[in-house]
Chain A
Amino acid sequence: MRNALKPIAIVAALVMSHGTAVAQSTADDIAKYREMIADGNPSELFEMEGEELWKTPRGPMKATLEKCDLGMGPGVVKGASARMPRFFKDTGRVQDLESRLLTCMQTLQGIDPKLVIDGKFNSGERKTMAALVAYVVTHSKGDKVRVDMTNPQMKELYALGERAFYYRTGPMDFSCATCHGEDGKRIRLQDLPNLTKHEGAAAGWGSWPAYRVSNSQFWTMQHRLNDCFRQQRTAEPIYASDVTIALSVYMAAKANGGEVMTPGLKR
């Protein structure tokens, strides 16, 4: 069966090297591959580490994060990340999961946010942050994206996020929209979601943070966004800065109602 099909596939490839039929069957095969590795996502290892960290007294105040309020009340993790970013009364601003965890680490544990903000990915407190994020987002898996777009501050950040999304910069004059503003774009075999539409935003926003098989790392949304800026060859944004939260608000608002599939499993 396989051997009989091969020559046909080769001829098809020759006739239309960019042909849609070949692209489609490749896409189907890749979809099958993704399905096969979906069970047993190594993000579970990060989730376990994060749960341990959540419950371990740390920092100058030797406290756990078990009283951390992610917007659903102190200590409530279930469903919390599905509703983020959101406006928090106590800080008077919109926070994404990571900036909110920084608040909890500072107020409950006495850990200086600068350790994360000025840190490096995959080391020190940023590594701790990634594990905590893995723990929290796992508890929204299967939920729906539900960000509150009636809140005025959320609307303000959405507008900022939209501007940032279309803002062209860097030596290549790229914006986020260059790669993520149209349907059917891809890099190599990676389909790039169109984040300006609900479907694409739900696929993208709904499946990050994620474990990346190419480097065996768990990437938070801050890490994901940072790398988009890096690929734009422009200045990297400050960790948890307003522009990063604004971009998250923009994506989450477009994704509203979509399924939360976090933690994802990515190439």
Chain B
Amino acid sequence: MNIQRRDTLKAGGGLGMLGLLVAAGLIRPELAEAAWNKGAFDAKSLDAAMAAMGAGKPAESADVQIAAPDIAENGAVVPVGVVSNLPKTEQISIMIEKNPNMLAATFDIPEGTIADVQTRVKMGQTSDIYAVVKADGKFYMSKKEVKVTLGGCGG
């Protein structure tokens, strides 16, 4: 099994990449589509997205921390980091209240992985960013406003 980057480039015409992924155990074929939470990602309101995630109305918690800029020069790239200090954190989600689809990303945190993730999201306009954390079966959240000087969804 060889999936180093140069070899994958050259393997282009041969074994399909999905095949490689499956062989590498990175993707279980039966889960490849099924796991994606369509209901949550397609939700058009915060409540609907929370409901689809099974989060209900999570309690605000100071143990959920959001690292994001106060102002984003360009909404196309807004850095967002979430740290959860709650014991048994098993999932972290990032939501942008005023985006057409609220849910940006969900991270499942297995045991041994630190509840500290960073990514970058698009924001159409100034909005609250929500971090929703599932810890020991319960949901918690915190939010932070990010001002956007130039929307990041138009192009």
Contacts and interface: CB of A to CB of B under 8 A. Distances in A.
A267 B71 contact: no
A151 interface: no
A213 B74 CA distance: 7
Interface string B60-78: 0000000101111110110
A215 B149 contact: no
A29 interface: yes
Interface residues of B, number: 17
A33 B152 CA distance: 15
Interface in B118-155: 120, 149-150, 155
A188 interface: yes
A216 interface: yes
Contacts of B70: 29, 32
Contact of A189 (B6, B9, B69, B149): B149
Contacts of B150: 188, 214, 267
A227 interface: no
A216 B5 CA distance: 22
Interface in A17-40: 26, 29-30, 32-34, 36-37
Given A188-B149, A267-B150, A30 B76 contact: no
Contacts of A37: 77, 79, 120
Nearest to B77: A213
Contacts of A34: 73
A236 interface: no
Interface in A210-235: 213-216
Contacts of A32: 69-70
A37 B79 CA distance: 6
B9 A36 contact: no
A189 B155 contact: no
A52 interface: yes
B110 to A, nearest CB: 23
A26 B70 CA distance: 9
Contacts of B77: 37, 213
A36 B71 contact: no
B66 to A, nearest CB: 12
